[in-house]
Amino acid sequence: MLEQLKKFPFGFIVCCLTFTFERLAYYGGKWGIAVFVVLEAANGGLGLTTEQGAIFSSQFVAWTYITPIIGGFIADRWVSPRLLVPLGEVLMAAGWFAISRAQGAGGVWLAIILLAVGTGFFKGNVSGINGRQFANDKDTLTTAFSLQYMFVNIGSFIGTTFLALIGTQGAGYRAMFMACGIFMLIDAAWWLFGMKFLGDAGKKPFLIDNRTEDVEKADVAKDKRPLTKLEKNRVIAILILTFLSGLFWLFWYLLYMPVYYEFGPASQGGMGWANWNLGANFEMPTAWFDSMNGLLCIILAPTLAAVWNNLSKKGKDPSMMTKTALGIMLLGLGVAMMVVGAGIYNSTGKPVGVWIIILTAILMSVGEMLFSPLGNSFISEYAPKKYLGTLLGAWPFIIFFAGLAYGPLYNAMRVHFSRSFLIAAIIVFASGALMIFFKNKFEAMVNGTEEQRRELEEVESK
């Protein structure tokens, strides 16, 4: 990993660490919101119902994933992406400070709004700037975005492991949210310091290259031309993968709800179906389920980046459709683990061992890492230039719908828990198998015919 990092510009490190600080706050706070709103006031919470907690968790995820497409649209056309990033960081800091002072549902909604708007200015634009540093070299982009994903998960791991201890073992959840806000202000300072290392990436809106005036005019004319057949097919392919990733994220996020609320301990708002005790006196935060995901992704990111790079050199790299399908099938097995855990608890009347939580986290994490880090690379390679920022924003856009759906879906499924989760596991696994069946047609759409490739080359050379 260190050898790979040495080959990259320092601006790459700037973007990656920017994500680390932001994800530290995001994932620590995401777990905190789900727990904080359902705990009784005596335990440092707001005392709302589990159903309300699921909806707030769902809304938080949804709105922080739709706004990047708006931020990407703005960055494509009107405002320097590198200036939108610190604006987003300051707004997110304000959001975390707002929830640290919340006395009811209104304060939570205010925080969600600020966090969503801030994320919109931040998320896709950092990835877009990072990608622009590598001249759309496929192999380098794949490695770079896989390593960026590792930095994302370093932030996730730190936030859910150590910030969670502030909430459960330290000064309480409100202090934890304050810490999230402070980290976002540190993140803004780091970005302002690091902008000088980014070269020309993100200085101007993504649709305007930093070249001579004559070249700029020529490129603007190119951007106004109609798409070729191959470019249209590639846009369709990106949208298909985006939709399929939405299926994955719907059930990926939904799985956190039973871990928190059914399998979690009563002191953290759960029903105690699993034993979270570590030794005699320490009860693990349920956020450590999130931590397992972060840690596994840190380990898997450089490993899989090397695997994909080696396979690519041999011409054997699996397609994005294949990787997405395998990821969804593993997630289906993770959903099935909830059925297994519930069955053990119901048959014995005793909490199941934490092994069921660990196994679920492993299946989710391996499934996630098979395809998710490569989405930005795939889009950066195949998206028409004039739609780059918008399609980078569209990759998380589908999670808006997944986010809106998983809270209400969970509330409906928990009425008949085992039966509902078994049906869901079958549907998810079967969807992945079906994608394997159609992978050849998808690959043909992306690669195109020789005539389509020649047409695109001729248009781009003019």
Give pLDDT tens digits for 50-87: 999 999 999 999 999 888 888 888 988 888 899 999 99
Q: What are phi and psi of 274, to 5 degrees?
A: -125, 155
Instruction: Break the chain into its structural domains and give their ranges.
Output: 10-461
Q: How far apart are CA 259 and CA 317, in angstroms?
A: 35
Q: How far apart are CA 209 and CA 324, in angstroms?
A: 33
DSSP state for residue 200 in the 8-state scheme: T
- Res. 4: pLDDT tops 70: no
Query: Residue 47: helix, strand or coil by DSSP?
Result: coil
> Higher-confidence residue: 103 or 211?
103
- Res. 218: pLDDT tops 70: no
Q: What does the pLDDT read at residue 373? A: 67
Q: How far apart are CA 366 and CA 454, in angstroms?
A: 38
H/E stretch holding 282 reads strand 282-283
Residue 41 banded pLDDT, cuts 50, 70, 90: confident
> Higher-confidence residue: 199 or 276?
276
For residue 434, give both structure tokens. 């079906």
Mean of the pLDDT values across residues 382-389?
78
- Res. 32: pLDDT tops 70: yes
Residue 137 banded pLDDT, cuts 50, 70, 90: low
67 neighbors 120 (Cβ within 8 angstroms): yes
Query: Residue 270: helix, strand or coil by DSSP?
Result: coil
From residue 289, alpha-carbon distances to 12, 49, 177, 252 in Å are 29, 22, 19, 13
Structurally, at CATH architecture level, domain 10-461 sits in Up-down Bundle (1.20)
> Higher-confidence residue: 346 or 322?
346
For residue 39, give both structure tokens. 């705990």
Q: What percent of the chain has pLDDT over 70?
A: 92
Q: How far apart are CA 55 and CA 411, in angstroms?
A: 9
Residue 212 banded pLDDT, cuts 50, 70, 90: very low
DSSP state for residue 414 in the 8-state scheme: G
Query: Residue 352: helix, strand or coil by DSSP?
Result: strand
184 neighbors 28 (Cβ within 8 angstroms): no
Q: At what angle do helices 229-254 and 439-447 cross, to 10 degrees?
A: 140
Q: What percent of the chain has pLDDT over 90?
A: 52
For residue 173, give both structure tokens. 């959840």
pLDDT per residue over 264-301, tens digit each?
Answer: 999 999 999 999 998 878 999 999 999 998 898 888 87
Longest Cα separation, the chain = 76
> Higher-confidence residue: 149 or 39?
39
Which amino acid is it at 367?
A: G
Mean of the pLDDT values across residues 411-417?
95
How far is the first Cα of the chain from the last one, in angstroms, to the nearest whole number? 39
Other CB atoms closer than 10 Å to residue 223's CB: what's the count? 14
Nearest Cα neighbor of 209 from 190, 228, 223 is: 223
Q: What does the pLDDT read at residue 19? A: 95
pTM of the model: 0.84
